[in-house]
Amino acid sequence: MSASSQVQKEERNLETRYESSYHQSSLSSVSHQSYAAHTSFEGVKTSKTKKQEKKLTALSKKDKRRHLALDTEDEVIGYVVPVFRSSHLATQELMETQEEVKEEGVGYVVMRNLFARDSAYQVKVEKKSHTKCMRESADRLTLGKKMQEKQEFHKKMNPDSLTHPPEFTVKPRGQTVWEGKNVTLHCTVAGWPKPRVAWYKNNVLIDAKAHPEKYTAESSYNMHSLEIKKCNFSDTAEYRISALNVKGESSAFASVIIKRFKDEEICERPHGYSPEYGVTFRTSIIDKFGVAFGREGETMSLGCTVVIYPTVKRYQPEVLWYRNDVLLAPSKWVHMHWSGDRATLTLVHLNKEDEGLYTLRINTKSGFDTHSAYVFVRDTDVEVEGVPVAPLDVRCHDANKDYVVVTWKQPAVEGSSPILGYFIDRCEVGTQQWIQCNDTPVKYARFPVTGIIEGRSYIFRVSALNKCGVSRPSRVSDPVVAMDPSDRARLRAGPSAPWTGVIRFTEEDPTVGVIPGSPTDLEVTEATKSYVVLSWKPPLQRGHEGVMYYIEKCLVGTDTWQRVNTGMPVKSPRFALFDLAEGKSYNFRVRSCNSAGVGEPSEETGATTVGDRLDLPSAPGPVVAIRNTASSVVVTWGASKEDKSLVRYYIEVSVVGSNVWVPCNNKPVKGTRFVCHGLNTDDNCVFRVKSVNAAGYSTHSSESEACIVKQSIEVPSPPSAVTLLERVRDYMVVGWQAPAKTGGADIRGYYLDYRTVKGNVKSKWHEVNLKAVTTTTYKVENLKENLFYQFQVRAVNQTGISEGSVPSTPFECKEWTVAVPGPSHGLRVLEVRKDSMVLLWEPPTFNGRSSVTGYYVDIKEEKGKWRGVQERSTKETYMKISGLKEGTSYQLCVFAKNVVGVGGPSKSLGPVVAETRPGTNEIVVDVDDDGVISMIFECSEMSEGSQFVWSKNYKALTDTSRLNIETVGGKSRAIFKDPSLEDLGTYSCVVTNTDGVSSSYTLTEEGLKRLLELSNEHQFPIIPFKSDMAIELQEKGRVRFWAEVGKFTANCQVEYVFNDNIVTQGKKYTMNFDKNTGIIEMFMDSLEVTDEGTFTFNLVDGKATGRTSLVLIGQEFAELQKKSEFERAEWVRKQGPHFVEYLSFEVTPECDVYLKCKVGNIKADTEIAWFKDKIEIEEGDEDAQKIGITEGVLSFNIGKVRQLWEGFGDEKGIQK
C-alpha cells in the first residue's frame, strides 16, 4: 500500500470518528494514532518515495488545506482536525500536537541531509508529548513509594529487628448484606512476635470451633478472616478483632448490618407482628427428616411437617430447599411439593452430586424456621471387580464458539489400582450419539474440548480408567451452547430498551476489506503434559465481519514458526494445543484473519515448558476423631499446606484390625471438619484423609487415634420443678425433678442455691451445700422464720455443672399446720409411647395428721383443662396412663390423700409428647432350646457408663433368688430360675445415661402357664408332621408309603420300621428322604402275605423326635393286596395289543349297523382278524371290503342286520 493511499485512509477514518457519536471519547486516541503514523512514515521514506507520494495523491487543494498539515516543502507532517464538534480542551491538545509534528518535520529534514551520503543509515526521531512525560513521571513516583512501603513493611516483619506491638495494616470494613447471605470480614495485622488474634461480637468472644456451622475463622500469613454464614437479624452487631503479643494489644472494629428486601425498600427483618394479616405467625417444624443414606439410581424423599399458627386462609409460606447453602430449583432430578402442611423434596435417580447438607427453610411474614440434615449417596455396585467408580460433578466453563472447558471431580474410590486417566464424551442435544473427545486418557480433572459447532448445544460425561477397566460414565453435565460469550450475555440480559437517538449516514467506504490487527494479551492459561491452552483478546481493528485466528508455535532455540491449525482457523479467543513434546520449551503467537487477509502476529508468549504446572496436593495434617453420637464421629484435620487449588477432601474409616477402608463421603468436602455418619455403635474406628485437586490425589494423612463410636458426654440439662415439700420454723425441705437429659453420664449430684426476697428486692445467690447431694430432696436448715426464700438447683456429672434451674416461687419459712398431706415430688415418666406412658413419683415428705392412704393423678392436654385419670385412688407410687393421642403434649400432677382429705397438687410435670421414638425396643420374653424362660431387652443408644436397671413393680430388684441378670454389650437378660406364681408382676428395665430408654412386661398367671408349656416343649421337643403316613398304589401294583415333615434341620435322620424291625434299602424296599421338601418315602414292588403288619417312620433331629405309623392288617390288607395284583396283571396285559374300548355297535340314520372297537398298543406286525360265526373273514371274501381301521379304531359295516358277527385276534392270541 502506498504512503498517499495510507494517508487518505487515515484521513477518512479520522472523519468517520468525528462524524460518529463517540468523537469526544476517541479524540485523544485519534490524535496519538495520527502522530504515530506520521513518525513511522517519516522514518522510512526516501526521496523516491516522496515523488511517488506526490503523484498518487488524489486530494484537492481544498481538502489539503482543510485536513493536511504541510511543511515548506509541501510534505505531509500531520492532520488538521476540524474543531466544530470538539471541546475547547480537545482543540488545544490537537493544536499542540500539530506544532510538535511541524518541529519534528524540520528536524527530520536536517538529519536526513546530514546522513544522506550513507544510504545504509536510517534515523528515527521520537519526541514525547507533555502528557506522556507527566504520566511516566507519575509512574516513577508511584513505584518509588511502593518500594519504600515494602521496605518498611519487611523491616517490621524482620525477626531480627526490634519487637513492636500489633498494628493493623488493613482494617476490617463494615458491611451491609441481605439476610441469608454470607459475610466475610478481612484484615491484615503486623507485629513481632506474631500476634494472636481473637474475634468478638458485641464484646463477646466468638468460638468458631464450637459453632462451625455459623462461623469460620481463618489465619494465613498475618491475613485473618471471619466468615459469618447464613446471616440473620441477630447477626447485626459490632465485630471486633483483637491482636495481642508481648508488646501490647490492638483492636479494629467493623459493623455488620443484616437487612432484607420488602415492598421495594430495605428494612430490618421483622420477627413479630405482621400488620398485613394482623397476626404473629409462629412456625414449628415437626416430623423432621434425619440423616439419610441412599444408593446411586434410587429415589429418595425428604419431608417435614410444618405447623403455622394461627391458620390464615389463602396464606402460603415461602418454602425453600437448599443443598450445601445453595438454593435448589425444580429440575429433572429434583421435585418439590407443598401440600399445605408438609414440605417434600424428592431426589429422582440419586447420584453422588446429590450428596450434601439439605436445609428446609420456611419463611413467613413474622420470621422463619429451618431444619437441616445430611444426605449420603453410596456408589452402586461396579460391573467389573476392581474398576473405579464414576467421576462426579461434570461442569462446563468458558464456553465459546468452538471451544469449551470440561471439569469434574475425582471419585472417592479408585478401585483395585490407581486411576490412569479419564475419557470425556460429548453428545449433541437432541441426539443419542456419544462421541469420545480424547483418544488418550487425561490425568487432569480438566480438559479443553475443541471441534464443536457454533450454535449447537452439547452435554458431556466422563469415565475413569485404571488397569482393571473403565468405570461407568458420570451423570451428564448441564447443556451448554457453543456461542460467543458476549452473545450469551446479551441473551441473558433480555431485550434492551428502544433506542431513541439519531443515526447519521455517511458516504464513507465500508470497513469490510480491512485486514484485522494483531491479537493482544496473549498468555498461556494452562500447561500440562497433555496440552497447553492459549488465551488472548481480539484485535481492536477488525472491521465489521467476524475474525478468526491462526496459532503458530516455535521451538525455543530455533527461528522456525509452524502454523498449528492450517486447515481450519478457530473462531474463539481460546485454543488448546496437543501433541507437544514433553519437557520441550515453545513460543506461541496468534494471527487474526478475515476475508481481507491475515494480519500481523501478536507478541510472543515467551518460553513455555510442556509439563504439569499444578502439582499434586500435599497430605492433610493430623486427623482427630471426636465422639459425637451413637452412630457418628466428628473428624477434624489440618489443611494441606498448598491449599489454593484444592478441590476438597475425602475421609475414610476403618474398624481397627479389619484393614478395610471405606469412604465416609462420596462427594469431596471443602472444610477441615466433617461428621461421619452411618457407623456402628461400639466399633473401634480409625480415620484418615486425602486431599484432591485437578492434578489428582494426595497421599493419605496419618491415621487418627482409635475412637469408639458412642454417644458423646455433655453437661446435663438443668433440673426443674423446684417444690416446697415441708416447712418448719427454721428449716424447709425442698424437692426437684431430675434433669430431662443427663448428658450421657450419671448424675453425680446436685447443688442448691438460695436467696432472700423482701418485696421486689432480691439478694444475691448463696450456696446451700458445698458437697453434692445424690437425692432430689434436701433439708435447708438455719433459716429465719417468716422470711421468704427462693431456691434454684444445678445438676453435675463428670463433664461439669449444668445451668441453674428456673428459680422457685418465694417460700415463706414458717411451720405447716394443715392436716392434709403435702405435695408429692420426684415426678418422672418412663416408657413413653404413642398411646401410653408410665408416671412415677415419690411420697410426700409431710404426711399431715395421718399417713398417706392413696394418690390421684390428673392430666391436662396442651391448651386443655385438668382432668382426673382414675376414679379411685391408688396406693402405688406409679401408674400407667393409656388412651393418649399420638403427637399430643400432656402435663401431669399428683395429689396425695389421707383420712383427713386430699392435699395440694405436686409440681406439674411436662409437657411430655406422646410419641414412640424411632428405634424403640420392647422387652421380649424368650424360651430357649433348653426350656429356660427369660426376658430380654436391647438398647442401641447406650453411652459410656450406661447400665440396665431391672425392677419389679417399679421397685429396684434386690432379691436375686428369683432372677439372674446377665448383660453383654447393649443386651440384658433377666432369667427366671424357677418360674412360679411368686414371679407374677410388672417387670421394667431402664437404661441409665440415655434419653429415657425403658420398657416393661407384665407377667400374668395365664402368661406364665403358656410359658411353662413352651418350656416343656423346648425341653422335650417333638418333630411335627404336616402329613402323617399314608399309602398310595402306583402302576405295576407298586405300593408307596409316604409322610411329610413340618419342621426339621439338615441333621434329621429317619428309621424305617416294620413290625418293630428296622428295614433297610434292598431288593424289597426302596427308601428316600427329600430334605428340600420334607417328604419321606418307602416303596415296595408288591405285597405278599408276610407283609401284613405295622409300618413306622421314626425321626431323630438332635434331641427332638418324631414318629408316624400305619397299620395294614385284616380286610384292609387283603383288599390292598388284591388291588396290587390286579394292577400288575393289567400292566402286563397292556404290554401287547389290548382293547381300550370293547366291541360295540352303532346304527346310522340309514339303518346301517356298524361294529366298532378301539385297540391300543398296535404295532406294525400286529395281525387283525374278523370272525363271522367263528369263521375268519379272509382278504378275498366279499365281507373283507367292509373292514376299516383308523387311528386304532376298528370298524365293520354290516349294513342291514341279518346274522351275528363276532371276534378278532392276532399273533399273540385271540380275545373276545
pLDDT at 113: 53
> Is the model more confident about 766 or about 163?
766
For 701-824, list the strands marked E by DSSP: 707-708, 720-727, 732-737, 749-758, 761-762, 766-767, 777-780, 788-796, 811-812
In contact, 543 and 587? CB cutoff 8 Å: no
Average pLDDT over residues 899-924: 87
In contact, 857 and 869? CB cutoff 8 Å: yes
Share of the chain above pLDDT 90, in %: 25
In contact, 227 and 216? CB cutoff 8 Å: yes
Statement: residue 122 has pLDDT above 80: no
pLDDT at 1211: 41
Average pLDDT over residues 590-613: 84
- Answer left, alpha or beta for residue 759, where phi above 0 means left and psi between -120 and 50 means alpha: left
Closest CA to 31 of 10, 2, 60, 51: 10
> Is the model more confident about 88 or about 590?
590
Sign, CA dihedral 564-570-573-576, equals: negative
Average pLDDT over residues 589-610: 86
pLDDT at 261: 56
- Convert the pLDDT of each residue in 265-319 to its tens digit: 434 444 466 777 778 888 889 889 999 999 998 999 999 999 988 888 888 899 9
Q: Going by DSSP bridges, is the β-strand pair 963-968/924-927 parallel, antiparallel, or unpaired?
A: unpaired
Q: What is the grid cell recorded at 170?
A: 488493613
Q: Which residues pair with 459 in a beta bridge?
A: 427
Average pLDDT over residues 68-73: 52
Q: How confident is the model at residue 596 (pLDDT cuts 50, 70, 90)?
A: confident
Statement: residue 39 has pLDDT above 60: no
Statement: residue 89 has pLDDT above 60: no
Share of the chain above pLDDT 70, in %: 83
Statement: residue 505 has pLDDT above 70: no
Burial string for 359-386 (b: 16+ CB within 10 Å, else e) reads: bbbbbbbbbbbebebbbbbbbbebeeee
In contact, 1153 and 1145? CB cutoff 8 Å: yes
In contact, 1102 and 1051? CB cutoff 8 Å: yes
Closest CA to 476 of 440, 442, 432, 439: 432
pLDDT at 270: 42
Statement: residue 4 has pLDDT above 60: no
Q: How confident is the model at residue 88 (pLDDT cuts 50, 70, 90)?
A: very low
Write the CB contacts of 717 (distance below 8 Å, at least 6 apart in sequence): 739, 740, 741, 743, 795, 802
Average pLDDT over residues 489-512: 51
Q: How confident is the model at residue 646 (pLDDT cuts 50, 70, 90)?
A: low
Q: What is the grid cell recorded at 604?
A: 510472543
pLDDT at 74: 55
pLDDT at 162: 64
Rounded to whole angstroms, the Cα distance separating 32 from 27 reads 9
Average pLDDT over residues 87-96: 47
Least confident of 80-84, 460-464, 767-771, 1144-1148: 80-84
> Is the model more confident about 642 or about 946?
946
Q: What is the grid cell recorded at 1072?
A: 428316600
Closest CA to 520 of 537, 535, 533, 534: 537
Closest CA to 538 of 452, 613, 602, 468: 602
Average pLDDT over residues 242-260: 89
Q: Amino acid letter at 659?
A: N
Statement: residue 322 has pLDDT above 90: yes
pLDDT at 161: 56
* CA-based R_g, the chain, Å: 50
Closest CA to 591 of 570, 560, 608: 570
In contact, 691 and 698? CB cutoff 8 Å: yes
Cα-based distances in Å from 1056 to 1070, 1082, 1100, 1107, 1114: 10, 8, 12, 10, 22
Closest CA to 213 of 199, 230, 200: 230
Average pLDDT over residues 325-342: 91
Statement: residue 120 has pLDDT above 70: no
Place of cell 432430689: 776
Place of cell 418465694: 810
Query: By three-state DSSP, how is residue 9 classified?
Result: helix
pLDDT at 272: 60
Phi, psi of 926 (to 5 degrees): -130, 145
Query: For 59, which DSSP code?
Result: -
Rounded to whole angstroms, the Cα distance separating 661 from 576 reads 39
Rounded to whole angstroms, the Cα distance separating 789 from 732 reads 10
Q: What is the grid cell recorded at 1214?
A: 385271540
Closest CA to 840 of 799, 798, 879: 879
Phi, psi of 871 (to 5 degrees): -85, -35
In contact, 689 and 701? CB cutoff 8 Å: yes
Evaluate if pTM is beyond 0.75.
no
pLDDT at 539: 87
Place of cell 372297537: 1157
Q: Amino acid letter at 763?
A: S
Phi, psi of 998 (to 5 degrees): -160, 165
Q: How confident is the model at residue 562 (pLDDT cuts 50, 70, 90)?
A: confident
Name the average pLDDT for the chain.
81
For 16-114, list the strands marked E by DSSP: 68-70, 76-79
The C-alpha angle with vertex 987 and arms to 982 and 991, in degrees rounded to 5, equals: 150
Q: Amino acid letter at 1044?
A: E
Q: How many CA atoms lie within 13 A of 574 on its CB side?
A: 22
Query: By three-state DSSP, how is residue 37 classified?
Result: helix
Q: Which residues pair with 1081 in a beta bridge?
A: 1042, 1072
pLDDT at 458: 94
Rounded to whole angstroms, the Cα distance separating 617 from 693 reads 7
Statement: residue 686 has pLDDT above 90: yes
Phi, psi of 1078 (to 5 degrees): 80, 20
Dihedral (C-alpha) 990, 994, 995, 996: value to the nearest 10 degrees?
Answer: 0
Neighbours of 1188 (CB within 10 A): 12
Average pLDDT over residues 161-184: 86
Write the CB contacts of 375 (distance below 8 Å, at least 6 apart in sequence): 291, 292, 293, 294, 300, 302, 347, 354, 355, 356, 357, 358
Burial string for 809-820 (b: 16+ CB within 10 Å, else e) reads: eebebeeeeeeb
In contact, 807 and 855? CB cutoff 8 Å: no
pLDDT at 1127: 81
Statement: residue 1148 has pLDDT above 80: yes
Statement: residue 67 has pLDDT above 50: no
Average pLDDT over residues 569-580: 83
In contact, 1104 and 1024? CB cutoff 8 Å: no
- Convert the pLDDT of each residue in 865-900 to its tens digit: 899 998 888 999 999 999 998 889 999 999 999 988
pLDDT at 1160: 79
pLDDT at 42: 39
Residue 1051 CA, chain-centre distance (Å), reads 48
pLDDT at 1201: 66
Rounded to whole angstroms, the Cα distance separating 390 from 409 reads 10
- Convert the pLDDT of each residue in 291-304 to its tens digit: 999 999 899 999 99
> Is the model more confident about 745 or about 347?
347
pLDDT at 23: 37
pLDDT at 1187: 79
User: What end-to-end distance do the CA atoms of the chain give, in Å?
Assistant: 131
- Convert the pLDDT of each residue in 798-817 to its tens digit: 888 999 999 998 998 888 87
Q: How confident is the model at residue 508 (pLDDT cuts 50, 70, 90)?
A: very low
Rounded to whole angstroms, the Cα distance separating 425 from 403 reads 14
Q: Which residues pair with 604 in a beta bridge?
A: none
Q: What is the grid cell recorded at 325?
A: 447453602
Cα-based distances in Å from 543 to 1, 535, 973: 18, 21, 91
Q: How confident is the model at residue 43 (pLDDT cuts 50, 70, 90)?
A: very low
pLDDT at 653: 94
In the chain the domains, ranked by start, together with CATH numbers, are 3-127 (no CATH), 164-261 (2.60.40.10), 270-378 (2.60.40.10), 392-491 (2.60.40.10), 520-609 (2.60.40.10), 623-708 (2.60.40.10), 715-816 (2.60.40.10), 818-829+843-909 (2.60.40.10), 924-1019 (2.60.40.10), 1025-1132 (2.60.40.10), 1136-1215 (2.60.40.10)
**H or E, element range at 145:** helix 130-157
